């Protein structure tokens, strides 16, 4: 993934330095066939049977690529369930894209808010429509009433755990909460509060009005068949500079997470939210973990198409570099306006090929300038 490292690395080195996106000149070229045919085809979910083999902790860290390939049938990703793009609940999949309601954070001193100040009572949350749901939780649009400090009320998004969820799922929600309390960055979704003293446990985060990046990209694609062009500023059609901006903003958010020693583990277009003025924010820290590296030991669904080779191996080792690999797959999603990575293969086949050295090639329509 060396081709993707410079963009990510630059933000890590430069820290707070910003780039004026106005200097990026629109590229007056039309890319024919931007969306590969059948790119949205996805396979039914496949549950891989559990295996009882003990992990070989004495694996030689200097194992060669050929030796890894010989062990491809024993790799750890086969121990767990996987999920396909069509099965992943988008966090804001039912948002009205024409809504003008946007969250205002200027009057919230998030950086100085104490844990006690962030605790909500259940009656301070007024639930509105459901925005999305998954196997263990739901996301609602809601109005939060800040009774304790006279901050009034504001529109928020509330993530809850379903009543039938296991204690492990509840604990995962609390881990996500502890993770998000440390994070303050314009390209990372902001935690506004939580409710842990009653069931269901709730995370209260900023409401991002334009939904997830995957749907945002596909919506733009659907309005103009299979090509895109750089039109005048009033056009709703995305320009090359927009795509570059999306990638740049995500890289800034992920660079910040790396500095905070946060490994996301599920970076994909579905987990990037789009706000006003096409601002991108990294979201969904349900799989995120703290520390410079993390060894996966639990059997939970895995997003195989976005995973780096070392995370597919028997060691299941996650580091910031694993997120860099996923960022490269995200770039493919961006330039193809939401196509499924490795769309000609099943998720299992893609994982096997990635371990043998396969990487996503530049789409044929993607110019060198882009």
User: 323 CB contacts (<8 Å, ≥6 apart)?
Assistant: 254, 257, 258, 263, 264, 265, 267
Tally Cβ neighbours within 10 Å of residue 99. Answer: 13
Tally Cβ neighbours within 10 Å of residue 97. Answer: 11
Q: Find the catalytic residue in 79, 172, 266, 323.
A: 266
Closest of 209, 230, 223, 240 to residue 98, by C-alpha:
209
Closest of 172, 189, 143 to residue 286, by C-alpha:
172
Look up residue 123 and give its two tokens. Answer: 């009656």
Beta strands in 68-190 (DSSP E): 125-133, 137-146, 152-161
Closest of 249, 254, 338, 322 to residue 35, by C-alpha:
338
How many helices (H) and strands (E) in the chain? 9, 11
Look up residue 249 and give its two tokens. Answer: 């903003």
20 is catalytic: no
Known binding residue 159? Answer is yes
Dihedral sign for Cα 151, 153, 159, 161, please. Answer: positive
Look up residue 140 and give its two tokens. Answer: 């609602």
Residues tagged active-site:
266
- Provide the annotated binding site: 159
- Provide the annotated binding site for ATP: 159
């Amino acid at each position: 993934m060396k081709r993707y490292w410079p963009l990510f690395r630059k933000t890590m080195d430069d820290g707070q330095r910003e780039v004026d996106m106005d200097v990026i000149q629109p590229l007056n070229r039309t890319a024919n066939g931007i969306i590969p045919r059948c790119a949205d085809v996805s396979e039914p979910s496949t549950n891989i049977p559990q295996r009882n083999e003990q992990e070989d902790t004495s694996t030689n860290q200097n194992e060669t690529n050929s030796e890894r390939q010989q062990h491809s049938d024993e790799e750890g990703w086969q121990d767990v369930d996987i999920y396909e793009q069509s099965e992943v609940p988008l966090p804001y999949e039912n948002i009205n894209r024409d809504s003008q309601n946007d969250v205002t954070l200027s009057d919230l001193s998030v950086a100085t808010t104490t844990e006690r100040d962030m605790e909500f009572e259940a009656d301070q949350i007024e639930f509105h429509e459901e925005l999305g749901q998954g196997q263990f939780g739901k996301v609602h649009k809601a109005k939060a009433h800040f009774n304790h400090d006279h901050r009034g009320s504001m529109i928020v998004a509330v993530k809850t755990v379903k009543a039938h969820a296991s204690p492990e799922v509840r604990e995962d929600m609390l881990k996500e909460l502890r993770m998000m309390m440390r994070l303050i960055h314009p390209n990372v979704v902001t935690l506004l509060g939580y409710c842990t003293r009653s069931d269901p446990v709730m995370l209260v985060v900023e409401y991002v009005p334009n939904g997830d990046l995957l749907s945002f990209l596909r919506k733009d694609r659907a309005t103009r068949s299979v090509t895109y062009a750089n039109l005048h500023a009033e056009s709703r059609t995305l320009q090359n500079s927009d795509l570059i901006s999306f990638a740049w903003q995500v890289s800034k958010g992920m660079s910040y997470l790396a500095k905070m020693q946060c490994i996301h583990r599920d970076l994909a277009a579905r987990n990037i939210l789009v706000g006003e003025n096409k601002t991108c924010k990294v979201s969904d820290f349900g799989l995120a973990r703290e520390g410079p590296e993390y060894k996966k030991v639990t059997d939970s669904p895995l997003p195989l198409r976005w995973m780096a080779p070392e995370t597919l191996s028997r060691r299941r080792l996650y580091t910031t570099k694993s997120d860099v690999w996923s960022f490269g797959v995200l770039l493919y999603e961006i330039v193809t306006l939401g196509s499924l990575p490795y769309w000609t293969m099943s998720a299992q086949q893609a994982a096997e090929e990635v371990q043998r050295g396969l990487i996503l090639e530049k789409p044929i329509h993607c110019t060198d300038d882009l």
